[in-house]
Structure 1
Amino acid sequence: MAAHWRGRASSLVVTLGVLHCWGWVSCHVERTSEKSPMSHERVKRGWVWNQFFVVEEYTGTEPLYVGKIHSDSDEGDGSIKYTISGEGAGTIFIIDEVTGDIHATERLDREEKAFYTLRAQARDRLTDAPLEPESEFVIKVQDINDSEPKFLEGPYIGSVAELSPIGTSVMKVMASDADDPTYGSSARIVYSVLDGEKFFTVDRQTGVIRTAVADLDRETQDRYELVVKATDMAGQMGGLSGSTTVTIVITDVNDNPPRFPQKMYQFTVSEGAAVGTSVGRVIATDADMGENTDMSYLIKDEEGGELFKVSTDGDTQEAVITIKKPLDFEKKRTHNVVVEAINKHADPRFVDLGSFRDQTIVRVSVSDTDEPPIFFPPTGAIMEVQEDAKQGALVGIVTAKDPDMDNVPVRYSIDRSTDQEQIFNIDAVTGAITLGKILDRETAGWHNITVTAVEADNQSMASQTAVSIRILDVNDNPPELATPYETKICEDAKPGQLIHTISVVDRDEPQSGHRFYFTLAPEASNNRHFALWDVKDNTAGIRTQRSGFNRQEQNVYLLPIRVVDSGPPALSSTGTFTIRVCGCDTVGNIQSCNATAFVMSAALSPGALIALLVCMLILIAYICFLVLLILTLKRHRKGQRMSEDEEDMRDNVIKYNDEGGGEQDTQAYDMSALRSLYDFPEVKNSESGTDLRSLPQWIQNRVTGDGGAADFSLFKGYIRKKVEQADADLSVPPYDSFQTYAFEGSSSPALSLSSIRTLSTTSEQDFSYLSDWGPRFRQLAGYYAQGQPEEEGS
């Protein structure tokens, strides 16, 4: 419709006219002159056509007439051709080119497309020129009630708590109708309940479902199936309808108390069952569901609560009755336990709290079992015996009896793992414990043994108890001085001076405590140097009786002291107290207690002390001289060994790539290195030959032999020896495999000194080239021929 009016507005802009068209009445456009805004000249009329509507779902056999377009310039002679274009033009809608009549050739469905936008044009039939401006128009599909309401979101599932009041909202359903809601009542929907209206209602306009009763009981019926219908045409006759199924689940509330299926349960348990053993299980049922069935159990009677305990199994909601304390068949054979069940989540809106629980009686029968003997008292016994008790003396008696009704006799024994020395014995029938050996409290003040009691006719029925035996003390050990006392005093000690305090130890342990008495031994009764003072607190003090002591006369005093305990009987012992006389400084600090050392130090004068110090310095200097001498000798010998080692090292110089240019090649090797290494004087050359006088005498003798011609046999033998060693050692590479011969040069007649080509140790080699080496070789030969100069008189 909006597009239709937009098209007409456009036509008005083009034609500058006013269009009035309603219903099926013909319309035309009046145009005014465009020459002047004030002109009222009437001009030729333009387009005239009918309002276009077409009814949907037309079922006729002929094309359906839609409307007509006409131009006032049409004189009916067929000179004007009418055409349409746009949506459905030529297919759904056709036009008579001569008359301008428009027909619909197809059955239209408004629910698929509500309107079509087209454009109309009048043209000259001969020239095909447009006679009027093209104008847009709309063909609207008129609705009929051909679509029933549909529940697009169904099926529906809702829920409501049981016992909800009337009118409680459950859920909302909604249907939709494809018909035009702006035209007639085709899309006006009302709701109703077809099935289940006794329990639920639905609002006709909104589709809200509500409860119709207040006594919905989940335990009676936990769900309802409703059929809700939606009807269009506001429910009038001829309207279309659709329906859907609505499932309403009734949710649970805790409106049922727990109930025990039985008023009494009976279980049997052995009296020997351990604490924590399960006696049995009971359960209270509840018609509710979920957490509303969670139970708590408790024991109501006092006796049952003392012997038994009840707990809830979280998975099964059962009451588990267990033993809390040991049961005794001989004391009581049957126990009646009152167990109460309570809902954890009771809802006071529906059930009175006082009745929201239930009770049952659990009868527990205790069965008799053969039990081991029981000691009286049940815990460990403590016995006492004097340490001077005779062998066989009675220590104490243990008692045990069979707790069963048969009261079988009991036999006793001592577990020897707790009395390996067999100090105690026990009478198997009476349980009397006697001494098997003499006791000594000072060795062991307590003895812990284990006594076993068994039934006479069933050795497997046994029990044990711990017996602690305390050994009572008797005065059988004399007191003694705590340590071998020794002290020191100065020579200038004053009379009455306290020089030491002594104490006593006694291995005995009298119940009334120790009391010791101190006196000097009879042999020291005439002592005039020291006095003993009994302090009366089990200690005594030693005091001097005179002034001045001379360690030259006597430097040690031995004071015998007698100690007596309080008994009974009174025992005593004598100990010696040693007193040393020492020299002290002016403030009383002890300097020396040795009389001989004192005399020597006193006899030495200052001059004697200086002389003694000088002697000590001389002795230290002499020791230093000896040390330097030894180090010098060692260094000298080490130098000799280094020469030998260096000689061996020269056979293994790791270089074999620099032969040089022969004897005349002075740049091939730095001779200064050899000169500095072996400290040989440089050999000077002259025109007549070599000056051997510049070499050491022992080298001259080696080179010339007896002062005549040069003798190189020594070098030949040495070189041959080295070659043989290199050839014979197969475990390592040859010694000279990488040697450097820096003096050979390119024109040396000796070719190469390497032993690599000389594999045989039997072949003779020509060493005559040695005589031509000149001064350099002689200087180097001095190194090979050095040997031990000391033996040659060098």
Structure 2
Amino acid sequence: MTIYQLLVLFPLWICLPHFCSPEIMFRRTPTPQKRILGARVPRSDGKILHRQKRGWMWNQFFLLEEYTGSDYQYVGKLHSDQDKGDGSLKYILSGDGAGTLFIIDEKTGDIHATRRIDREEKAFYTLRAQAINRRTLRPVEPESEFVIKIHDINDNEPTFPEEIYTASVPEMSVVGTSVVQVTATDADDPSYGNSARVIYSILQGQPYFSVEPETGIIRTALPNMNRENREQYQVVIQAKDMGGQMGGLSGTTTVNITLTDVNDNPPRFAQNTIHLRVLESSPIGTAIGSVKATDADTGKNAEVEYRIIDGDGTDMFDIITEKDTQEGIITVKKPLDYESRRLYTLKVEAENTHVDPRFYYLGPFKDTTIVKISVEDVDEPPIFSRSSYLFEVHEDIEVGTIIGTVMARDPDSTSSPIRFSLDRHTDLDRIFNIHSGNGSLYTSKPLDRELSQWHNLTVIAAEINNPKEMTRVAVFVRILDVNDNAPQFAVFYDTFVCENARPGQLIQTISAVDKDDPLGGQKFFFSLAAVNPNFTVQDNEDNTARILTRKNGFNRHEISTYLLPVVISDNDYPIQSSTGTLSIRVCTCDSQGNMQSCSAEALLLPAGLSTGALIAILLCIIILLVIVVLFAALKRQRKKEPLILSKEDIRDNIVSYNDEGGGEEDTQAFDIGTLRNPAAIEEKKLRRDIIPETLFIPRRTPTAPDNTDVRDFINERLKEHDLDPTAPPYDSLATYAYEGNDSIAESLSSLESGTTDGDQNYDYLREWGPRFNKLAEMYGGGESDKDS
């Protein structure tokens, strides 16, 4: 007997004790109480257990889902043993769906379902039943719980969680390789019948793939499926319930399967021979072309490494693998020369970098091709015989002497004549020149090693037929020394001899320098031009000499300075010599030989005093002198004669307001003493109460001539002060007292008149007298002001 048959017969087995009636029977106990005591059951601990017995018995009901009848579906019947059939009892139903989904006949206890029930929504309902006395509303039975279980029917088909699946499997996989597992679910009750038992089958995708009926695992069905032949497959899987039997429900899904690549294909060159061309002038590193081997695989399985494995150009060319394009770039490794070789042959190999050992049986994963490279001719510039030239020449050669020759040739097969020239930027003084035809370099000016020992020249070689093709080369000319300079004193010597010097006393050590640079080094000899009774020279044989005294009793008052000619000669050929004269002063010295004073009685400065210190001392002295002069001038100015000599000499001066003045020390606001002597303005001073913007050079204002009107003279002076920015403030009035230079009559005294000529004219008194009086009144003078 199967499980399905047991599930179907189970409700019948439940109903047999109740005569196959779907009802719950309430049994009345012998006592009026709802519970009675049954048999006593002894326990292991000696206590007696009493088993209770309810007044009604209950069980679960079964109900088929998806009822399609027009009437309410009958579920079962509740019945109490106290029900006499007279309608005195009332049955009450409560719990899941009571009153809505399930209703009960309160008199008979019959239960009905009001609508169709779906087991997938709810598999069972738990309800409570009670019987009460209709008149007293008291329960005659205790409330009891029962279950209505919904029997399943096959009303749901299997469904897949994904409508479309995506999977992959390596190509060349063996038969039975697992690809992916698909699983369908069925909402029906798996514990009741075969409604939820699913079986898988393949509807599309054969003969390449298969599916396991029970698990839904998809596997490969054909050996060595090649991705290069076909990459994409679409498989349709069906899931059917009822164990796959007839009448079962089914669902389908689609699985897109991709064959992934494995390295099962070697690279292949499309051609056995590849031809490339390159110019002979191509610099090192120039890319001249590329080769490419194709691989049917993808990704890293198609990565290729290129190398040159053979050929006569392995040392002239190189190959680089370009990862992005998977090409082999051939580059120039060494300089090319069309005239030397015009064709090279290379054998290039392309090999996979990631090889799968499982597919070694397919053969080597590499391929080769032949690359032929043709070198093409270009018009090349001339080539010098050396990368640089070094010429050495003595400085005493004659102008026009050839010092060396540079050589260059045209490397082209059709040789072109070459013209040589000098880059004048490297020979601005035009000391050298070059023969344009043969490249001979010669001098055009005298050479002097002492001025420049090296000359760095640049020679240009250019083709005559194509001047643009040119080459430059460096030429270094070294000037060799010739002994053409006489030695001289190394420094200027300030030599002195003490009056108390003794014979043989050292007064000076001298040395010499020479601009020449002999190979053996410098060697100087010192001697006197003539025998000197006062001094002698002693050669130290180390390019220095000592000057010694030959007598004592030097007197600076008799001879203050001695001139000593010293002959200095070198040791090179031809021997050069010169005469240097030492100036030896006679000075007084202390007992230790320290100089105190010389013939000029010059102020002796402390030894080691620098030039800067001397200048600082002189500046301090000058500043002190200036301060003394200014102080003396200021003091003299303060002692200037006052305008008013007595208390009687008082004038009415005009008071200037808005000008407070500088006080008693403001002596330069204006000088009234100028009126007395116009010549006093000659030394014009700047005001101290204002700061002038520009220093004006004092100008001498000529005094009024004898016949000039005093009023005009004063107006001119006022005008000058108005235009002078260093004059007193504009609202001040400068007062002038003009005495005049002299009188044309020389004297107004009657004593003098008697001695003068009789034709003397005194009319000027009548002309100038009133004017002087008027002027005196204007400026505050009275009769007492006789000097004005």
User: What TM-score range do you get, normalising by the shorter chain?
Assistant: 0.5 to 0.7
Is 1:73 the counterpart of 2:85? The answer is: no
- 1:264 is aligned to 273
Cα distance in 1 between the residues matched to 2:390 and 2:626: 78
Residue 267 of structure 1 and its aligned partner are, at CA, apart by 1.2
- 1:448 is aligned to 456
Report the identity percentage: 51
Is 1:564 the counterpart of 2:564? The answer is: no
Amino acid at match of 2:570: D
Residue 365 of structure 1 and its aligned partner are, at CA, apart by 0.8
- Please list the CA deviations of residues 446-494 of structure 1 after superposition, one character each: whole Å capped at 9, or x if unmatched: 3333333332333333333333333333222222222223345656666
**Alignment match of 1:365 (pick from 364, 374, 379):** 374
Is 1:182 the counterpart of 2:180? The answer is: no
Alignment of 1:356-755 (within 5 A): 356-377=365-386, 379-488=387-496, 499-510=507-518, 512-523=519-530, 525-535=531-541, 537-544=542-549, 551=556, 554=559, 556-584=561-589, 589-593=594-598, 596=601, 648=658
Amino acid at match of 2:563: L
Cα distance in 1 between the residues matched to 2:311 and 2:269: 21
**Alignment match of 1:28 (pick from 13, 21, 26):** 26
Residue 64 of structure 1 and its aligned partner are, at CA, apart by 2.5
Residue 110 of structure 1 and its aligned partner are, at CA, apart by 0.4
- Please list the CA deviations of residues 711-750 of structure 1 after superposition, one character each: whole Å capped at 9, or x if unmatched: xxxxxxxxxxxxxxxxxxxxxxxx9xxxxxxxxxxxxxxx
Cα distance in 2 between the residues matched to 1:644 and 1:76: 157
Q: Is the 8 A contact 2:209 2:218 kept in 1?
A: yes
Judging changes above 3 Å, is the alpha-carbon distance between structure 1 residues 415 and 142 closer, same or farther for their aligned structure 2 residues? same
Residue 152 of structure 1 and its aligned partner are, at CA, apart by 1.0
Q: Is the 8 A contact 1:160 1:249 kept in 2?
A: yes
Cα distance in 2 between the residues matched to 1:342 and 1:586: 104
- 2:609 is aligned to none
Residue 625 of structure 1 and its aligned partner are, at CA, apart by 9.4
- 2:313 is aligned to 304
Point out the more displaced range, 96-105 or 187-196: 187-196
**Alignment match of 2:296 (pick from 263, 268, 287):** 287
Judging changes above 3 Å, is the alpha-carbon distance between structure 1 residues 645 and 629 closer, same or farther for their aligned structure 2 residues? farther
Residue 315 of structure 1 and its aligned partner are, at CA, apart by 2.6
Cα distance in 2 between the residues matched to 1:243 and 1:532: 129
- 1:604 is aligned to none
Cα distance in 1 between the residues matched to 2:456 and 2:527: 44
Judging changes above 3 Å, is the alpha-carbon distance between structure 1 residues 67 and 395 closer, same or farther for their aligned structure 2 residues? same
Cα distance in 1 between the residues matched to 2:499 and 2:422: 67
**Alignment match of 1:322 (pick from 314, 328, 331):** 331
Point out the more displaced range, 317-326 or 492-501: 492-501
Cα distance in 1 between the residues matched to 2:539 and 2:32: 160
Judging changes above 3 Å, is the alpha-carbon distance between structure 1 residues 529 and 21 closer, same or farther for their aligned structure 2 residues? farther
Q: Give the match's secondary structure for 1:229.
A: strand
**Alignment match of 1:58 (pick from 67, 70, 80):** 67
Residue 178 of structure 1 and its aligned partner are, at CA, apart by 0.7
Amino acid at match of 2:471: S
Q: Give the match's secondary structure for 1:112.
A: coil
Amino acid at match of 2:453: G
Q: Give the match's secondary structure for 1:459.
A: coil
Residue 167 of structure 1 and its aligned partner are, at CA, apart by 5.4
Q: Give the match's secondary structure for 2:469.
A: strand
Alignment of 1:184-263 (within 5 A): 184-196=193-205, 198-211=207-220, 215-235=224-244, 238-263=247-272
Q: Is the 8 A contact 2:25 2:79 kept in 1?
A: no
Q: Is the 8 A contact 2:410 2:417 kept in 1?
A: yes
Judging changes above 3 Å, is the alpha-carbon distance between structure 1 residues 164 and 30 closer, same or farther for their aligned structure 2 residues? farther
Segments of 5+ residues of structure 1 without an aligned counterpart are: 1-18, 600-618, 638-642, 651-734, 736-786
TM-score (norm 2): 0.67
- 1:764 is aligned to none
Q: Is the 8 A contact 1:283 1:318 kept in 2?
A: yes
Residue 53 of structure 1 and its aligned partner are, at CA, apart by 1.0
Segments of 5+ residues of structure 2 without an aligned counterpart are: 1-16, 40-49, 605-624, 644-652, 661-730, 732-779
Judging changes above 3 Å, is the alpha-carbon distance between structure 1 residues 489 and 190 closer, same or farther for their aligned structure 2 residues? farther
- 1:313 is aligned to 322
Judging changes above 3 Å, is the alpha-carbon distance between structure 1 residues 278 and 597 closer, same or farther for their aligned structure 2 residues? closer
Cα distance in 2 between the residues matched to 1:38 and 1:98: 30
Q: Is the 8 A contact 1:33 1:43 kept in 2?
A: no
Q: Give the match's secondary structure for 1:300.
A: strand
Residue 420 of structure 1 and its aligned partner are, at CA, apart by 4.2
- 2:679 is aligned to none
Q: Is the 8 A contact 1:21 1:51 kept in 2?
A: no
- Please list the CA deviations of residues 398-449 of structure 1 after superposition, one character each: whole Å capped at 9, or x if unmatched: 2222211111222223333433444333333222233333333333333333
Residue 228 of structure 1 and its aligned partner are, at CA, apart by 3.0
Cα distance in 2 between the residues matched to 1:359 and 1:266: 14
Q: Give the match's secondary structure for 2:658.
A: helix
**Alignment match of 2:340 (pick from 313, 331, 341):** 331
Residue 208 of structure 1 and its aligned partner are, at CA, apart by 4.0
Point out the more displaced range, 501-510 or 195-204: 195-204
- 1:739 is aligned to none
Cα distance in 2 between the residues matched to 1:570 and 1:586: 44
Residue 55 of structure 1 and its aligned partner are, at CA, apart by 0.9
Cα distance in 1 between the residues matched to 2:362 and 2:590: 100
Q: Give the match's secondary structure for 1:291.
A: helix
Residue 279 of structure 1 and its aligned partner are, at CA, apart by 0.8
Q: Is the 8 A contact 1:87 1:118 kept in 2?
A: yes
Structure with higher helix content: 1
- Please list the CA deviations of residues 353-410 of structure 1 after superposition, one character each: whole Å capped at 9, or x if unmatched: 9944333222111111222222222x23222333332233222222222211111222
Over the residues paired in the alignment, what is the CA RMSD in angstroms? 4.4
Cα distance in 2 between the residues matched to 1:621 and 1:157: 110
- Please list the CA deviations of residues 225-283 of structure 1 after superposition, one character each: whole Å capped at 9, or x if unmatched: 33333343445565433332222323223343332222221111222334433211211
Cα distance in 2 between the residues matched to 1:644 and 1:200: 136
